[in-house]
Structure 1
Amino acid sequence: MAKWTTDDLPDLTGRTVVVTGAGRGLGLITARELARAGARVVLGVRDVGKARAAVAGLPGTFDVRPLDVADLASVRAFAGSWSGPLDVLVNNAGVMDVPAARTADGLDRQTTTNHTGPFLLTNLLLGHVTDRVVHVTSQLHRRGELDLGDLDWRTRAYHGMAAYQASKLAVVLFSLELQRRLDAAGSPVRSVLASPGIARTALAAHSRSNVVNRFRFLTNSPEQGALSVLYAATADVPGNAYVGPAGPGGLRGGPAVRRAGKAGLDAALARRLWDATAGLVEAAAR
């Protein structure tokens, strides 16, 4: 698998894939390659104009729709307008180590973008999904710590990188609990995790604790980083598989099925997180 490339993508003709945050970076590369392999790719993006310009002239079928996963009304509108089957949902949109800010719903921006919004989107679209949900996480989930009593950073001092690590741990735990629920329901749908390693994209480059420019030998190019997402979206992997770079520390290299960090395998914590996240969504709706 370490030598797997986009040339190994299967024929995706007739399949429909949603990729969030697909206007640039890993999301755009993922959308481009899935469309090249024959899929109809729906890009859920904040800036529709820029995304349309980005895919103009590329081979394949693209459908660009407005979606801001940090805005729960936007998430509901996107999901509410969906009809027909959806083979693969790729929850790619994310931010990293951003300053403290609140969304229109009064929620922490980073937590909502990386976890709460995708949680809601997945649950709203799940009845349409026929194959799998792919959650883009990070190796930094291994350093994450969750405070379920303050998941939304209201009472603690906010720290951008700590919030990022916690949100990516939440993504891993969400996949674990989602897969448990799918199995319990007898569903064939899979929940799969993808880590691009440390990819040299705008997401990481602006981080105040940036390692991209100082330690480039530890990083993946955006094209390499997208391979883990593409493999997770198309290969025959088991439910809750964790796909990441095959190199040391899971930081760079071609895709391989690896193992999530210990905290990401805590089933009891995953169930409690699900309830806490649902509570945030319900409170925001009131």
Structure 2
Amino acid sequence: MTTNLHGRVAVVTGANSGLGRVTATELSRAGAHVILAVRNVEAGQEAARAIGGDVEARELDLASLASVRAFAAGLPTLDLLVNNAGAVLLGPRRETSDGFELHLGTNMLGHFALTGLALPNLAPTARVVNLSSITHKRARLDFDDLMFRRNYSASKAYGVSKLACTVFGLELDRRLRATGSSITAVLAHPGITRTNLTPRAWEHRGRLGRFVASAALITTQSVERGTEPQLRAATDPDLRGGEFLGPSGLFEMRGPVTKVRPSAVAADPAVGRRLWAVAEELTGVSYL
């Protein structure tokens, strides 16, 4: 990445490991002041020291609206917000401190609240990057049971949370453009990437789980390659609001970065308006 980001301020959520850490590292190398928004501050400080440059760690637990509000209250003017953090579980259903299903609450509702609360601190030409997943294309939103209180499936809940992230990113772009804002909202997904979440999510599940974890090391792309779509989404000056980047290979699983299409459900403005209204009600955060 050759972009010069000196004088720019960026927030990357979930930045102490995986995609977030690589993103923060590259932004720092380009000269940005980078705030690592992390649940574990000690781990974040260790990551900041390892990354070097103008980097600091601040506490942010996206599974707690109180934590999101506290983090947003101390923000400087931002040029870039990368909504990277994500929870993925294969165990029983869990909830955030506010009673939301953990995937939806962390991956989408936490970032929805953060972005809305950070909006007054975004520079006029700031950019917001929302991280999606190819799993969003198989997911369906059940507005009567968004919290999966019936028929819970961890994999389905994760897919729904990533569909919700995609819907949010596209609806944010529509609303920014409707108000004439020069802030841009874009999306990216990493394909199938070897983050620490991939093997960890499976390795405790007996022989089959260990096999899947081992296979992931062979069939997935590196975290550095998986980070490329969101890095380009964060820094490409020619990217327009609402554009979506991901790998160009078979089924968008891996390969060089290209523009990709969201699912029809994710791109539906009616779905966007409905989910936005639900998110505002659940989080208590209203904007645009």
Matches within 5 A, 1:57-96: 57-83=50-76, 85-96=77-88
What number of residue pairs does the alignment pair up? 274
DSSP 3-state at the match of 2:79: strand
Q: Does 1:136 align with 2:131?
A: yes
Q: CA contact under 8 A between 2:15 and 2:36: conserved in structure 1?
A: yes
Greater relative CO, 1 or 2 (CA 8 Å, sep 6+) = 1
Q: Percent identity?
A: 43
- Partners of 1:213 and 1:259 in 2: CA distance: 30
> Any idea what SS the aligned residue of 2:34 has?
strand
Asked if 2 retains the 8 angstrom alpha-carbon contact of 1:218 and 1:252, the reply is no
1:112 to 105, 116, 130: 105
Matches of 1:103 and 1:183, distance apart in 2 = 32
Q: Which amino acid aligns with 2:247?
A: P
1:98 touches 1:110 (CA, 8 Å); kept in 2?
A: no
Change (3 A) 1:212 1:270: farther
Establish whether residue 263 from structure 1 lines up as the match of residue 258 from structure 2.
no
Equivalent position to 2:6, from 6, 13, 26: 13
What does residue 146 of structure 2 align with?
151
- Tell me the secondary structure at the aligned position of residue 276 of structure 2: helix
Spell out, residue by residue over 1:61-98, the C-alpha distance to the aligned partner (whole angstroms, 9 max, x if none). 00110001111100000001123x20010001101234
CA contact (8 A) 2:198 2:216 kept: no
Q: Which runs of 5+ in 2 are unaligned?
A: 203-207
Q: Secondary structure at the match of 1:213?
A: helix
Give the equivalent residue in structure 1 for 2:229. Answer: 228
Question: For 1:245, which of 236, 244, 247 is the aligned residue?
Answer: 247
- Does 2:189 align with 1:195? yes
Q: Which moved more, 1:233-242 or 1:91-100?
A: 91-100
**Alignment partner, residue 205 of structure 2:** none
1:116-139 Cα offsets, whole Å, 9 max, x none, are 100100111012223211011101
Contact 1:174 1:274 in 2 (8 A): yes
Matched AA of 1:62: V
CA distance in 1, matches of 2:217, 2:43: 28
Structure 2 distance, partners of 1:31, 1:221, is: 16
Counterpart of 2:200 in structure 1 is 206
C-alpha contact 2:12 2:35 (8 A) present in aligned 1: yes
Change (3 A) 1:98 1:72: farther
Q: State the alpha-carbon separation in 2 of the partners of residues 163 and 38 from structure 1.
A: 37
Counterparts of 2:214 and 2:273 in 1: how far apart (Å)?
A: 38
Partner of 1:172: 166
Structure 2 Cα separation of the partners of residues 67 and 251 of structure 1:
30
Question: Does the CA-based 8 Å contact 2:33-2:55 persist in structure 1?
Answer: yes
TM-score w.r.t. length of structure 1? 0.91
Q: Partner residue of 2:279?
A: 277
- 1: CA distance, partners of 2:113 / 2:216: 36
SS at match of 1:107: coil
* Aligned CA distance change for structure 1 residues 260 and 9 (closer, same or farther; 3 Å): farther
Give me the whole-angstrom Cα distance separating, in 2, the residues matched to 1:198 and 1:205: 12
Distance 1:213 1:232 in 2: 30
Per the normalisation by structure 2, the TM-score is 0.90
RMSD of equivalent CA atoms:
1.7
Does the 8 A contact of 1:200 with 1:212 survive in 2? no
Helix, strand or coil at the partner of 1:279: helix
Q: Compute the displacement of 1:216 (Å).
A: 4.8
CA gap 1:158/1:9 in 2 versus in 1, 3 angstroms: farther
Amino acid at match of 1:81: G
**d(CA) in 1 for partners of 2:242 and 2:249?**
21
Q: 3-state SS of the aligned residue for 2:172?
A: helix
Letter in 2 for 1:148: F
Paired residue for 2:41? 48
